Amino acid sequence: MHIAVVGSGYVGLVTGACFADLGHDVILVDNDQSKLNALRKGEVPIHEKFLPELLDKHRGKRIRFSEDLQSAARASEVIFIAVGTPATESGDADMSYIESVAREISGAVDSYKVVVEKSTVPVYTNEWIQKIIRRNGAHPEQFDIASNPEFLREGTGVTDFLYPDRIVVGVETERAAEVMKNVYGPLTSGWYYGRNDAVPRPDRAQTPPQLIITSAKSAELIKHASNAFLAMKISFINAVASICETVGANVQQVCEGIGTDSRIGPRFLNPGIGYGGSCFPKDLLAFRSVAKESGYDFRLLEEVIRINEEQRHRFLRKVRSVLWTLRGKRLGVLGLAFKGGTDDIRESPALLLVEELSREGCKVCAYDPAAMERAKEALGNGVEFATDAYQAAKGADAVLILTEWEEFASLDLQRLRSLVKYPIVLDGRNLYDPALMAENGFSYYSVGRPAALCEETASRGAKKERA
């Protein structure tokens, strides 16, 4: 099929590349000329596994880039809107970009087309898009609006798209439903999974995926409700972790005990320093706003947000309690992205912690495998940046693990021990076994688990340096 994807941000770029890999002809549209030029030259603006390979494979063949929205819309049967919906000061989603795209599409509806909301949007957005396109001259019989929420996790977006748990499509007509079934036919039929050049199947993937057809309003709510529920799970286990620390229990054992319950499951029961990124914080605020407009006081969402913010402050208090005073302390920080596998620092709890530590007079030397350039822009000159984890730890009064990158979970502990000034590790992601850390000479503090303490003598490397 001929598909236009409007917006070359995270969702749009992954969506366009994956549709091309399914065999569709894709035009990726953006009004940022510099971004389009970079994409045409083969540059990939985001850190995402398999995305560079897909763009290299299909660039100039099944996927091309354009700044001309109307021409792209005329040439396409299906138009996916994947532009940003940032949160306003009130917490509402800013719909101005979607409105602008809808107005421009209206001038290109010269044959039947399905216009699809791919951005995360509040309920009733489909009705507003339809009104705008009609108000600007398009005949109502020549287009339908569909809602097709994305469930992409940064770092695994390509495999999430091609091996989804489910595909949700909200439509109001059978005609639109048939078009959307054809769009996702390569997945739902299982055809894509039989190809030798398909993106490798991730663990736990069930194929072919289920296609769930709903009303447009239900589809819009499914996305917000899903993210709110997952955020609630994270905040719940973080609250439990706080209780574990107080009473001396081990949250890892608690997670195993409740996660094996088939009604609950183990996923997202990972205590840490809180959720972040471009989705959960924004979507919870938008969902809360929708609830208020509907006359429902969704106080559970308020508590989920509060617990998440408190978790970051709680970890900061732990750093203070371990180091006594912060001013003048040198800290090696491992991780700046909001989670492993991505370079996204939006609403990153790691970045927020670094900013707070710097304000309190700490000398921070940080390292992240992918987010360094973005973090440099955000943090400015107040933070030193290392070339690897070991350089970040050299001479540190303590090492802080703030992002769950795989390489941080497999460090050479003896090498690390020889580099730090004091063998203190505060792990905000619970990447290590406390007993293992103690065996290797560290005093180790994690989230929701008893501390593993050793005699905190200065390392040999630090002694030589001082000598």
Q: Is residue 279 flagged as an active site residue?
A: yes
Q: What is the pLDDT of residues 406-449, one digit of tens each?
A: 999 999 999 999 999 999 999 999 999 999 999 999 999 999 99
Same domain, 202 and 228: no
Same domain, 12 and 32: yes
Residue 412 inside a domain? The answer is no
Residue 381 inside a domain? The answer is no
Residue 124 inside a domain? The answer is yes
Same domain, 35 and 182: yes
User: pLDDT at residue 161 above 90?
Assistant: yes
User: What does the pLDDT average to over 365-372?
Assistant: 97
Same domain, 209 and 237: no
95 falls in which pLDDT band (50, 70, 90)?
A: confident
Pick the range with the lowest mean pLDDT from 99-108, 160-169, 275-284, 370-379: 275-284
Q: What is the pLDDT of residues 273-298, one digit of tens each?
A: 999 988 888 889 889 988 998 899 99
Same domain, 171 and 238: no
454 falls in which pLDDT band (50, 70, 90)?
A: confident
The reported pLDDT for the residue numbered 466 is: 47
Residue 191 inside a domain? The answer is yes
Same domain, 185 and 84: yes
Same domain, 247 and 106: no
Q: What is the pLDDT of residues 381-390, one digit of tens each?
A: 889 999 999 9
Residue 359 inside a domain? The answer is no
Q: What is the pLDDT of residues 59-68, one digit of tens each?
A: 999 999 999 9
- Token duo for residue 105: 């599409």
CA–CA separation, 169 vs 184, rounded Å? 10
Q: What is the dihedral of CA 430, 376, 312, 238, to 10 degrees?
A: -40
467 falls in which pLDDT band (50, 70, 90)?
A: very low
Q: What is the pLDDT of residues 225-247, one digit of tens each?
A: 999 999 999 999 999 999 999 99
CA distances from 161 to 13, 16, 31, 166, 454 (A): 12, 11, 25, 10, 46
Same domain, 255 and 204: no
Which of residues 287, 307, 327 is at a domain's end? Answer: 307
Same domain, 202 and 87: yes
Residue 152 inside a domain? The answer is yes
User: pLDDT at residue 354 above 80?
Assistant: yes
Model pTM greater than 0.85? yes
Which of residues 197, 214, 231 is at a domain's end? Answer: 214
User: pLDDT at residue 26 above 70?
Assistant: yes
- CATH code of 294's domain: 1.10.1040.10
**For 340, phi and psi rounded to 5 degrees?**
-70, 150
User: pLDDT at residue 456 above 80?
Assistant: no
Pick the range with the lowest mean pLDDT from 39-43, 100-104, 123-127: 123-127
Residue 140 inside a domain? The answer is yes
Same domain, 255 and 197: no
Same domain, 164 and 266: no
Could you tell me the residue range of the domain that residue 149 belongs to? Answer: 2-214
Residue 80 inside a domain? The answer is yes
Q: What is the pLDDT of residues 129-156, one digit of tens each?
A: 999 999 998 899 999 999 999 999 999 9
User: pLDDT at residue 461 above 60?
Assistant: no
Which of residues 288, 307, 326 is at a domain's end? Answer: 307
* Domains: count for the chain: 2
458 falls in which pLDDT band (50, 70, 90)?
A: low
Pick the range with the lowest mean pLDDT from 76-80, 358-362, 432-436, 451-455: 451-455
Tell me which of 279, 362, 365, 454 is the catalytic residue: 279
Share of residues in the chain with pLDDT > 70 (%): 97
Same domain, 264 and 202: no
> How does the average pLDDT of the chain come out, rounded?
93
The reported pLDDT for the residue numbered 460 is: 53
- CATH code of 44's domain: 3.40.50.720
3-state secondary structure the chain: CEEEEECCCHHHHHHHHHHHHCCCEEEEECCCHHHHHHHHCCCCCCCCCCHHHHHHHHECCCEEEECCHHHHHHCCCEEEECCCCCECCCCCECCHHHHHHHHHHHCCCCCCEEEEECCCCCCCHHHHHHHHHHHCCCCHHHEEEEECCCCCCCCCHHHHHHCCCEEEEECCCHHHHHHHHHHCHHHHCCCHHHCCCCCCCCCCCCCCCEEEEECHHHHHHHHHHHHHHHHHHHHHHHHHHHHHHHHCCCHHHHHHHHHCCCCCCCCCCCCCCCCCCCCHHHHHHHHHHHHHHCCCCCHHHHHHHHHHHHHHHHHHHHHHHHHCCCCCCEEEEECCCCCCCCCCCCCCHHHHHHHHHHHCCCEEEEECCCCHHHHHHHHHHHCEECCCHHHHHCCCCEEEECCCCHHHHHCCHHHHHHHCCCCEEEECCCCCCHHHHHHCCCEEECCCCCCECCCCCCCHHHHHHHC
